[in-house]
Every structure is written in C-alpha cells, then in structure tokens.
Structure 1
Amino acid sequence: MSIPSQQKVPDIIKTYRPAKHFPSTPSSETKNGTPSHNASTQPHITSLDFDDTGDYLVSADSADNMTVYDIKAGTKTKTIPSKKYGIHLARFTHHSRQVLFASTKQDDSLRLLELHNESFVRYFTAHTAAVTSVALSPGSDNFLSCGADDLVCLWDTNSRSPQGKLKLVTPYLAAYDPSATVMAIASQSTQSILLYDVRNFDKAPFATFDMADGERKYCPSTQARAWTKLEFSNDGKYILLGTDYHGHFLLDSFEGKIEAFLVGKTDGSGRAAPVSTSGKPLGQGDVCFSQDGRYVIGGTGAQDLLVWDANLASGGTLEPMVKLQSRGMRNPVVQMNPRYNMLATADTKVVMWLPGDQVKNQDT
C-alpha cells in the first residue's frame, strides 16, 4: 500500500477512500493469529494510535488484544493478547517499539510494553478507578493520565511513580499543546476546560474556558456529559472538544472563544463516553484534526466520515464541507496519521484510508 507524503492536505482532503481493512482479532483466536473453529463475534476496536514516524499503527480491542500494523506494507505485523490485564488507550511512546496502555482488569494501573520481546518495561500505579485518558507529551517522555477517581497524574515513562497529581472534579480528558508547555484538562461536570503550565503543574490553572453557555446553546440535552475527545491542533491555534451525538466544539486555544460548533452527525457513535454506565464498548472519540490543523475529520454516527474546514468558522454552527463514503462501515474511532496523507478508522475492523488516486486495491 503506497503512502503519499508530498501532497498538500487541501489538495487531497476531499478524496479519501477506504483502501484496506482488517477485522479485529476474535477473542478465541490463538496468539499466532490462527482462528479457532469456534471464533467468536468480532470484538470492537476501542483505540487507535500512530507512532511518531507514521509508519506504524497500534489498536486495542474489547477482546483484550493489541495489534500492530505496518502502514507502508499495509499489513498486520503482530497481535499481542492482554487477557490478564485488559487493554485500552494503547499509545506509542517516542520509542517506537514501546506502547503504553491502560489496564481494564485486575487494577487501574498503566503498563509500558516492549513490542520486540512482548515484555513489560514498567507499571505506573496511582489511579484507583478506570483510566479515562492518556496523553503523551510531544516534547519529552512525560505523559498525562486521567481517571474516574478524579485524579490527573503527570508521569515520566522512566519512573513508576507520578511526578505530580491533581485532584479535580471529573477531569476525564487531557491533551498537550504542540509546544509541550501547556496541558489542557476537560472537566465535563463543571463544563470547563482548564489550562495549566506544565512547568507549574501544581499551581492553579492560568486559564479556564467555561463551556456552559456553549452547551446550553448547541447541545442542551447533553450538558455536562458525553465529552469524548480533547485535542490541540498541530499549529496550536485550536482546541477540539469532541462530544457524542450532537457535534463538536472548535475553540480558540488562546481565548477559549467558540469558533464553531461542528454539526452534521446523525446519531451517537455507539461508544461509551468516559465513565459511562451505558454498557457500550469503550472508545477514544470519533473525531480528530488533520495534520495541518485546518480540517477536522469525524464520524457521522452511522456510516461515512465528515470533514469540516476550520477556515470557514464564523462563530456559529459549521456544516461539513464534504462527506467521505466509507462503503457501509461505521467509524466510531478516527485517527489521522501524523506524517503521511492517510488516516485510520475502526469499529470491528481497522480501515486504512488513502487519497482516491492512491487507492489501488480495495479488495481486502
């Protein structure tokens, strides 16, 4: 599967098509990838993440498997079960052969896995309830974790003890800005986004963006719940606050002004927002920025993908500029490649998308 690297995002953003897809690993499948005769219903993919180079993708699924994909070859390279501890929010560190993930069984610790020999490098223990968000610093080996225990922890991957802790009210989502000097924490029950100076982690936030008026205006029936994603654009200009069903907020990252409410979704993603008791499969949000920060790509709630152009934001609702056809597949998990013009989506299958002129084989 060829990967374009030179085309400008505006030139190809409207042309993405599914190029290849991979069913998730059935829970009864053996470790070497051979299905048993009693292979179960396909599990749901709960998270996706690309490494820094854009060459590899890692997924986690509801059957407690981690799967690694080679992007250039368009192949699965390894499936690693985590039946004892469970797995969610699998994230590459800056060391491409290491993956960090949150446990969903036994305890609520995070684990750092070495992919080459499938051994654990380190456990990170502090949370006493489910981890709801994991964010890697773009500039160091630090990372943030949020939990249903109302804790935010700042970690260094080289130490099993947190470098700092914050006790907040429902701090379920976290993100670093591109400079790695600011961290944002989304507290859905207080309807606010808190900005902290990373160097003064233990001090009060230097800014608080109040989302109450925006929620009352655009999604009054789901106020203070169903926040699913928090992300800075790569140019540092915007913050994306993803929600389930109604749409997503695009904020000015310096003043917190709502630049647009992104509409066009027709249904919920079918995935649980953090600490939801709905019984739905876990997820990481169905929306993300393009590499240049100009576009937002997200699921419709049913099928297909929507693309919004932030340059058209005018302070009100913003309709999608294009709908990308997904050939009947749902897309409750969406992630953009940081280096190449490709993206990945997932439900019970991981789907690799390429610009239309690069899609050479759709028979997968």
Structure 2
Amino acid sequence: MAESQQPQQQVPPPPQSQSQQQTPLPSQKVSDIVRSYRPTKLFKPSKQDSSNYVTSLDFDDQGDYLVSSGDDDTIQIFDIKEGKSTKSVPSKKYGAHLARFTHHSRQVLHASTKVDDSLRLLNLHNEGYVRYFSGHTDKVTCLALSPGSDSFVSCSKDNTVALWDLSSRNAQGKLELATPYLAAFDPCAYVLAIASQSTSSILLYDFRNYDKSPFSTFDLAPYEERYTPSTRGRAWTRLEFSNDGKHLLVGTDYHGHFILDAFEGNLKAFLVGRNGSPGRAAPVSTTGKPLGQGDACFTPDGRYVFGGSGDHPDVLVWDLQQQPDSNAVLQPICKLPHRARTAMIEYNPRYNMMATADKDIVFWLPEDSTKASEK
C-alpha cells in the first residue's frame, strides 16, 4: 500500500490494441494532470442489454487489474496496461455485487444478491470458489478489506457488521448496530469506521479491540440539518479514508459530499456542484433502483476528490487544498467532459488513471499522456 500513498503517480499510456503490451510513462503529480483527464476506452457490458448496470468497481493493490460486478450476474476482469477485458465469470445462481480484490493474486471476494446472503471467495485462475462465508440474514451493503491483513468486514441490512478472515468460513466476531450500512478501514488498518445512517453517526472502533465500545463517535446530524435536510438519516452512499489518514469522505446520494477531519470529526468541507442523483440505490435498495457503491472517491495523494455530476454527464473534481467559503462549501475546480452518467468512480491506486461506470465502463487518462504515447 506504500506506493498508493505517494503523490507521485505513474501514468500508463492509453491502450492502442488489445494485444499490444504498454509501458508506463514517467510519473507525474496528480496536480499536474488533474484537469486533463479524458475518456480513452469504453467497454460495453458482456451482454448487449440496455437494462443492465455495473454495480461495483475495484482495483487490485498494484493497480494492474480492475474487477467489476453487474446486475447481469457477471464478474468481469480488466487488464489496465493492455486496456482490455480478460475474463468474464458468470454467477447466475447467486448473483454478484461488491466484487473486491483481496491481497492475494487473482482472488476476488463478492456478495450474493440471490438465494442467500453469503459472501464468496472466487479463484480467478480456475473460476472456482475457494470458500463461502455465511452468517448474514439480509443483503450485504458493504465489503471493506483490511489494508494490512486478510481480515475484512461486511455490513448488512440485518443490522450487523461481521468481521472475518479469508482463511476461515466462520465469522471472527459480530457487531449489532442500527443501520450500519457502510464501513471503511483507515490506511494503517487500526481504525474501523462504521456509518450508521438512521442515527446520523459514524462510529470509530479500534479494530484490534472491536468488541469494546467505539473510542469516538462523529455526530453528523447538525451537518445534515444544515446541508442535506431533506435526506437526513438516509442516502449515504460512500465511506472512505484518504490515504494520508487525514480526511474521511461521506458520500451522499443527492446534495453533495461531506469531508470530515478523520481525527476530530469536524466538517472540513461540503462538496457541491452536482445536479440530482446518479440514479443508484447505494448502499441499499428500497425503490428498485440499480445497486451501486457511491459516486465519489479520493485520489491516492489525498488532495482531490473525483465524483459524478448526478444526472449530468460531467465528472467533477474538488481540490481539498482550496479554502471553502464561509459556509464550508467547496465548489469543484473543474468539470471533465463526458457523454454518459457517472454512477460510480474509482481512481487507480498506483497509476494516474481512473474508471467510471453506469451501464458501460470507461477508462480515463490524462490527455497529455495520450498525446505522448502517440508520438
């Protein structure tokens, strides 16, 4: 994880053909290229069905591969350097959501959407399942893997957070909380944050002593009353620590996103600029909307947040080093042009590229790197 915490990021050139191996260009600071991102590669779903949506995206630790899941009950793997889809694994019986790479090569963990509410560990080499993790009695809403070990946590609509280890099918522990739909580890893997929507709070646990009471609780009710009064206590879609450990992102479905001080819980900025909702039911579905995982994320240097524009196609970029206005409102520094809605977005942990998705998956690269690779 060390590389992902560096502000210097390598930039892979855009793929030119599916068979040609590419060599990454020299590294560049995110701040040097943040305004120049453009879509460079589009991937249609495995089935040409306009009713299917991508529901999750995740990069592996090295940034070489991307895994997606969709409501077509398919898991897809993409090679970043070659710019192509390399594997499509169907999960027709149990469905697939929240597909996540583990720290082990070619292993993917995902939640079920059909039959039961178990988690499944998939071996990509033989497309067989290594292990099932059973225990939840309702849909899983979030999977968070520890940055430093094979531990992971799962949140569920059954009002529990289960703690697991990849080597055992039995849960190592369980927390019972009100609507604990989102969770995130801090970069050091010591702190586990759990977002409880109905109580408008974020609970911080010492992961080594998770059976103890939370050592801190952030009350977001006053901030919701001020910035998101019509969706108070609901519509949180994303919980993420920045790689420098200083900030905590609480993404919302409609109004904007909260940036909190990760130590004190104070509001540092409220990110605005979007128009409406991305049309996803993240992290839970009550209206029949497609599932998702939120539409905002940090860059690896912790300085920027990239996010969708709601029902508009542009991608927004916020610079956390900029000073918010007197109401702690922060406007985006730029809009990156796009032709499709961004319902989810992930920034590569190692290279200066990102992926967005709605019905299709799109790879983005800085425009200057595109030109350099064509010379």
Which TM-score band applies after superposition, normalised by the shorter structure?
Answer: over 0.9
2:44 to 5, 10, 23: 23
Deviations 1:137-174 (A, max 9, x none): 00000001000000001110000011110000000000
1:166 to 157, 169, 175: 175
Can you give the 5+ residue segments of structure 2 that lack an aligned partner in the other structure? 1-14, 16-21
Quote the RMSD (CA, aligned, Å): 1.2
Query: Counterpart in 2 of 1:251?
Result: 260
Deviating above 4 A after TM superposition, structure 1's stretches of 4 or more consecutive aligned residues are 2-5
* Structure 2 residue 23 is the aligned partner of structure 1 residue 11: no
Query: Counterpart in 2 of 1:335?
Result: 346
Are the equivalent residues in 1 in contact too, given 2:50–2:359 (CA < 8 A)? no
Deviations 1:95-134 (A, max 9, x none): 1200000000010000000000000000001110000000
Query: Counterpart in 1 of 2:286?
Result: 277
Tell me by how many angstroms 1:25 deviates.
1.5
Please show how residues 1-364 of structure 1 align to structure 2 within 5 Å.
1=15, 3-4=24-25, 6-26=27-47, 39-41=48-50, 43-301=52-310, 302-314=312-324, 316-326=328-338, 328-359=339-370
Tell me by how many angstroms 1:273 deviates.
2.5
Deviations 1:193-215 (A, max 9, x none): 00000010000000000000000
Are the equivalent residues in 2 in contact too, given 1:52–1:96 (CA < 8 A)? no
Tell me by how many angstroms 1:355 deviates.
0.4
> What is the distance in 2 between the residues matched to 1:144 and 1:187?
15
Q: TM-score, length-normalised on structure 1?
A: 0.94
SS of corresponding position for 2:352? coil
Tell me by how many angstroms 1:335 deviates.
0.4
Are the equivalent residues in 2 in contact too, given 1:137–1:176 (CA < 8 A)? yes
SS of corresponding position for 1:194? strand
> What is the distance in 2 between the residues matched to 1:195 and 1:80?
36
Percent identical among aligned pairs is: 62
Tell me by how many angstroms 1:4 deviates.
4.2
Are the equivalent residues in 2 in contact too, given 1:24–1:42 (CA < 8 A)? no
Tell me by how many angstroms 1:358 deviates.
2.3
Can you give the 5+ residue segments of structure 1 that lack an aligned partner in the other structure? 27-38
Query: Counterpart in 2 of 1:35?
Result: none
> What letter matches 1:168 in structure 2?
L
> What is the distance in 2 between the residues matched to 1:312 and 1:151?
38
> What is the distance in 1 between the residues matched to 2:323 and 2:218?
19
- Paired residue total: 348
> What is the distance in 2 between the residues matched to 1:164 and 1:237?
28
